[in-house]
Amino acid sequence: MLQEQGKALLFDIDGTLADTDPLHLAAFNEVLGPHGHEFDHARFGKELQGFSNASIGERFLAHEAPERRAVILDEKERIFRELVSGQIQPVPGLMALLDQADRAGVPMVAVTNAPRPNAELLLSGLGIAHRFRGVVIGDELAHGKPHPLPYLEGLRLAGASAQAALAFEDSRSGIQSATAAGIATIGMRTGLGHADLIAAGAVASARAFDDPELIRLVASAMAW
């Protein structure tokens, strides 16, 4: 089917396509613990989730030289990839939604603050890398989330308008990024609750992609 001009679905990866946040939490605690920082689920959601490694390093490793911060956070990502390898599962309902978008000719783009090796590992592990028009990496741009630039780049890759697009995010910074780009955003309750997601700017929240309200909102926005 011909692509529907102007429409697009844009997805964060971690915590949105797959519930990987507990593994990120474990990896962060392993590398930041020796520097005096320990995170529980609530603190992870407020201070780490969705932020770029550069900003995390500036905040929690300010006593280290920038080069050393990068080494420490690269180690965090290596630990994460080791933990997640072989156990990547999609959030329920994801595959059905991607199938529907493919049938309707609606392009999809992944937009993430994760390093490219992580993004590629998760997309390939889910077997969905080929579904996406492109993968936007926040650290490869002048600004990552919560700045709108990553989602503006996602719209450009999709050839879509913000008004005709829909985004899916699980973090405050991600929702802020997408909504600042003018995109209506559904918050995924893999980590944060409904109230937190709505407060960040989401138009609705859902526990998974098979949530009836999410299915209704997507069908309405995409007119399928």
Residues annotated as catalytic (active site), given as ranges: 12, 14
**Strand order across the 134-137 sheet:** 134-137, 108-112, 6-11, 160-169, 184-188, 204-206
- Report the C-alpha gap between 154 and 169 in whole angstroms: 14
Half-sphere exposure of 122 (CA within 13 A, CB side): 31
- Locate 80 and state its tokens: 């994460």
Strands 108-112 and 160-169: what pairing? unpaired
- Report the C-alpha gap between 202 and 217 in whole angstroms: 12
At a CB cut-off of 8 Å and minimum separation 6, what does 114 contact?
13, 14, 122, 137
